[in-house]
Amino acid sequence: MCNMDDRTFRNAMGKFATGVTVITTALNGEVRGMTANAFMSVSLDPKLILISIGEKAKMNEIIKQTGKFTVNILSEEQQDLSMLFAGQLKEKQNVTFDWVGDQPVLPNSLANILCDVYNTHVAGDHTLYIGKVTDIYMKDGDPLLFFEGKYRNLASHANAG
């Protein structure tokens, strides 16, 4: 049996630098968003991606009902949105979304990756959602990064050499 404590596990996972996404979907026209960095590309043919959502997140139930979601890859200018959709801001804010059909997308993201749920797999206290990509929009810009539990950006870590 593994008796490793949660903090050690979290700290080790935090050594993996990632970008930051906001997952969006809409149920009966009402938009829900949730910050997530557990995102990866899975397959080219068919085009599949994966996200992992905690069992306690409200987003879990909502995606089960909508059967679709968008992965919005955040730019370094969108840290406030990451904090908002992670529940880290005290004050609620009104966010304006763009729409692609019935799918809400976050404007000014580096990429909007629209997906239909292709498969799900419960793994411990998270559910893995494999999404089949149906549409993609992209913009130029630098990414918001997350490393050791903190937001970072490329410029502050640029290698002078």
Output the six-digit token pair for 118. 């292709």
Strand partners, 68: 116
Instruction: Name the residue with the smallest CB distance to ligand FAD.
Output: 38
Residue closer to ligand FAD (CB basis): 81 or 161? 81
Q: Output the smallest distance, CB 148 to ligand FAD, in A.
A: 11
Residue closer to ligand FAD (CB basis): 3 or 94? 94
Residue closer to ligand FAD (CB basis): 58 or 157? 58
Q: Could you give the C-alpha distances from 85 to 12, 44, 118, in angstroms and in order?
A: 24, 29, 24
Residue 72's SS3 state is: strand
Question: Site residues (CB under 6 A) for ligand FAD?
Answer: 20, 31-38, 52-54, 57-59, 82, 84-87, 92-93, 95, 146
Q: Output the smallest distance, CB 155 to ligand FAD, in A.
A: 19
Q: Output the smallest distance, CB 10 to ligand FAD, in A.
A: 12
Residue closer to ligand FAD (CB basis): 96 or 161? 96
Radius of gyration of the chain (CA): 16
Q: List strand residue ranges (DSSP E) for the chain, in order.
A: 18-19, 21-27, 30-36, 39-43, 48-54, 68-73, 98-100, 103-105, 111-123, 126-138, 144-147, 150-153
Residue closer to ligand FAD (CB basis): 73 or 84? 84
Q: Output the smallest distance, CB 98 to ligand FAD, in A.
A: 13
Q: Output the smallest distance, CB 1 to ligand FAD, in A.
A: 25
Give Cβ neighbours of residue 99 (< 8 Å, ≥ 6 apart): 105
